[in-house]
Structure 1
Amino acid sequence: MEANPYAAPGAVVEDRYAFDANDLEARKASRWQRLGAAFLDGIVIALCMMPVFFQSFATYNARVHGTVPPAFALSGYMFFCLFLGLAVIVVNCILLSRNGQTIGKKLLGIKIVRTDGSQATLGRIFLTRYLPIRLFGFIPFVGPIIALVDVLMIFGDEKRCMHDRIADTIVIND
């Protein structure tokens, strides 16, 4: 038989993954690392909000003593906090898109990957990992229960929260 010169190439290409299944299981981040990363991310956001807290306290204190603080100071603090918050969001988006890490995860040396070891995309992280749980959180009565179940699922054998299962991701040591 003659070979068809117009036929598609017949090369066999294997799918390559960043890690094999046994390696991923051994590299899973501990529950304490994940808790610490969430705690550090919360501290970063809280630090962004500190100027508003101090200005609110100063405003309350001034009103208690019968004086009125200048309005421009409060709006300046609000814009400063908005700028800081946007900066944290941008930094987290850059870290998440490059390596699947937030600021807290970067500091603790852990990252988000797909269950096959490949890199999780920014879209997957936001649209399937964060968004569903946040949307369920807005439902009265049901939202807090779903948020609690999400967090408590970390104590299962797989060390995966509900948002990990929804997004088909795991958190591993970097």
Structure 2
Amino acid sequence: MQDFREAYQSTAVEVQENDIQDNEVELASPWQRIGAVLINSLITMVLYVPLFVGTAMMGDSNGESGVMWIGISAVLLLAWGIYQAILMSKTGQSLGKKLLGIKVVTLEGDNPGFVGTVLLREIVYNIILTVLGMIPFLGVLISIGAAIALLVMIFLDGNNRRTLQDMLAKTLVVKA
């Protein structure tokens, strides 16, 4: 009985991967994926500016103004995070992905929703990376290694350019 279940499971996975190819979706280019990450990162960095301004003001006599700037940054970053989570959940696209015409889909070509795009691809992946990054002496190497692995993986056509996050959530990034 066990052999039958194992054979069925491996066939089911192959069928799912073939289904996405039968739908003739086009994989997002590595450059589109890199561009989307850069756009999202740039916006996030800009939203951190009030935090830095506020932190700098905390040492001056304008401590209250510093707290205000830190609060502004916190509100902006929270709003940005919620906006991105809603976009990813509804369309499989962050703002960067939307601007570059790519999206995240399941292996069957469906929208992965909140669980696939936000929870698994972003939150769980980053929690795992953060925990591994806390390992003394190895943490930095693990973080750098993961970044290099992701960069290499998006150029591998044989694996449908799937990254560690895509494997965790069973997703692909395709042209919208």
TM over 0.5: yes
Structure 1 unaligned segments of length 5 or more: list them: 1-18
Give, in whole Å, the separation in 2 of the partners of 1:131 and 1:96: 12
Name the amino acid aligned to 1:49.
Answer: Y
Matched residue of 2:154: which SS? helix
1:126 is aligned to 118
Which of 103, 109, 112 is the aligned partner of 2:101? 109
Match of 1:167 in 2: 169
> Which residue number in structure 2 is paired with residue 136 of structure 1?
128
Amino acid at match of 1:74: G
C-alpha distance in 2, partners of 1:91/1:84? Answer: 10
Question: Hey, what does 1:32 align to over in structure 2?
Answer: 31
SS in 2 for 1:137: helix
- Give the counterpart letter for 1:80 in structure 2: I
- Give CA deviations for 1:27-65 in whole Å, capped at 9, x if unaligned: 2110000000000000111111111223444x38xx6xx
CA distance in 2, matches of 1:72, 1:165: 46
RMSD (Å), alpha carbons:
2.1
Higher helix share: 2
- Higher mean displacement: 87-96 or 125-134: 125-134
Q: Against the structure 1 CA distance between its residues 127 and 98, is the aligned structure 2 distance closer, same or farther, given a 3 Å change threshold?
A: closer
**Number of positions where the alignment pairs a residue of Structure 1 with one of Structure 2:** 148
Question: Based on CA coordinates, which of the two structures has the bigger radius of gyration?
Answer: 1
| Amino acid corresponding to residue 118 of structure 2 in structure 1 | F
The residue number in structure 2 matching 1:49 is 48
Listed one character per residue, the Cα deviations across residues 120-173 of structure 1 (whole Å, up to 9, x for unaligned) are 111122332123431232222253133432332112122111111121111111
Aligned to 2:63: 71
Please, what TM-score do these two structures have when normalized by structure 1? 0.75
Q: Tell me which residue corresponds to 1:150.
A: 150
Q: Does 1:80 align with 2:79?
A: no
Q: Retained in 2: the 8 A contact 1:24–1:117?
A: no
Query: In structure 2, how many angstroms separate the alpha carbons of the residues matched to 1:132 and 1:153?
Result: 19
Q: What are the ranges of 5 or more consecutive residues in structure 2 without an aligned counterpart?
A: 1-18
Q: Is the Cα–Cα contact under 8 Å of residues 20 and 107 in structure 2 kept in the other structure?
A: no
Q: After TM superposition, give the deviation of residue 20 of structure 1 in Å.
A: 5.1
Quote the sequence identity (%).
26
Q: Deviations over 1:62-118 (max 9, x none)?
A: x6xxxx331111110111011101111121122112111111111111111111111
1:163 counterpart letter in structure 2: Q
